[in-house]
C-alpha cells in the first residue's frame, strides 16, 4: 500500500459569477502551487475574481479541518492592462501572470515598512511607502508605455524609462 496522506492541498479559482473551479487535490503544497500558477497564466481568457489554496486535514471534523493558505484577488495589471494581476493583500504581494509582463509588488525583505515594485522587462524597480504608492508607480509606468504606442522607442527614451 501507498503512504498514508494526512493532508491535501486544494487550489481553486472563483469566476466573477461566483462559480468555483477546483483545480485538483494534491498531497504536496508545492504541486498545488505549480498547478495554480500554470492556470493563472491563462487567467486573461476567463472572467476570474479570486483564487486560493486550501489545506484540508484528513479525518478531521469541522472547521479545524480546513486552513486557507492564501487567497488572491484578480485585477487589471497596471502595466500591461490585462486582467492577470493577482494580489495577495495578506502577504503584501502581487504578480502579473500575463505573458511577457510579470510586473510585481512585494514587501521589502529587509525593511517591512517599504513596499518594492518592479517590471522585469526594463529592470524597473522602485521602493514605496505603501501598496497604493507601488500600484500608482506601476500605473505610471504602464501609462508611459502605452503613450509610446506603436512608435519605436529611441535609445534615449528607453534609457529614460529605465532610469525612472
pLDDT of 163 over the 60 cut: no
Q: What is the mean pLDDT of the chain?
A: 87
Phi, psi of 27 (to 5 degrees): -85, -10
CA distance 43 to 9: 21
CA-nearest of 42, 11, 120 to 105 is 120
Domain ranges of the chain: 1-75, 76-164
Tell me the per-residue pLDDT of 36-46, one tens digit each, with 9 for 90 and over.
999 998 888 88
Tell me the per-residue pLDDT of 78-125, one tens digit each, with 9 for 90 and over.
999 999 999 987 777 899 998 789 999 999 999 989 999 999 988 999
Q: Percentage of the chain surpassing pLDDT 90? A: 65
pTM of the model: 0.78
Cell output for 137: 508607480
- Output the pLDDT for position 149: 63
For residue 95, the cross-strand partners are 86, 104
Amino acid at each position: 500500500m501507498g503512504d498514508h496522506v494526512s493532508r491535501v492541498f486544494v487550489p481553486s479559482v472563483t469566476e466573477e459569477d461566483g462559480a468555483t473551479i477546483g483545480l485538483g487535490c494534491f498531497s504536496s503544497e508545492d504541486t498545488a502551487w505549480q498547478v495554480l500558477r500554470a492556470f493563472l497564466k491563462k487567467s486573461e481568457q476567463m472572467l476570474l475574481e479570486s483564487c486560493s489554496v486550501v489545506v484540508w486535514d484528513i479525518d478531521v471534523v469541522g472547521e479545524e479541518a480546513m486552513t486557507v493558505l492564501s487567497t488572491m484577488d484578480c485585477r487589471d495589471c497596471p502595466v500591461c492592462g490585462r486582467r492577470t494581476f493577482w494580489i495577495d493583500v495578506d502577504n503584501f504581494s502581487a504578480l502579473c501572470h500575463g505573458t511577457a509582463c510579470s510586473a510585481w509588488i512585494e514587501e521589502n525583505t529587509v525593511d517591512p515598512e517599504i513596499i518594492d515594485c518592479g517590471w522585469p522587462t526594463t529592470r524597473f524597480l522602485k521602493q514605496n511607502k505603501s501598496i497604493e504608492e507601488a500600484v500608482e508607480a506601476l500605473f505610471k509606468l504602464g501609462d508611459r508605455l502605452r503613450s509610446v504606442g506603436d512608435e519605436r522607442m529611441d535609445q534615449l527614451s528607453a534609457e529614460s524609462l529605465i532610469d525612472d
